Amino acid sequence: MSLTLEQKKRVVAEVNAVAAGAQTAIAAEYSGLSVGDMTALRAQARSQGVYVRVVKNNLARRAIEGTDFECLSDSLTGPLLLVFSVDDPGAGARVIQDFSK
């Protein structure tokens, strides 16, 4: 089911607000993860204060425009998960690394 224009605008605004205040960003491929794995990853990220979101690449490009992470735009291809660390710069990387084990 595709998103309406208003829903897309809300997603872009939400991700932009998080990206504007984030210290680090990671774009990670999530293909092959089951729904249970994705739920566990999100719960682990939430517990460490890390924002995790699956966003269509075109919407992600719009969301990071004007932020420190605009340089990621060219890398946004394929099924990606956006991870933003707001408080601790290394928290997002630790969440992804711990989860990949």
The stretch 29-44 carries a mean pLDDT of: 93
Spell out the residues 6+ positions from residue 28 whose beta carbon is closer than 8 angstroms to its own.
Answer: 80, 81, 83, 96
pLDDT value of residue 26: 95
Mean pLDDT value across residues 56-76: 94
Average pLDDT of the chain? 93
| The pairing of beta strand 24-29 with beta strand 50-54 | unpaired
Q: What is the CATH number of the domain that holds 39?
A: 3.30.70.1730
Q: How many domains does the chain have?
A: 1
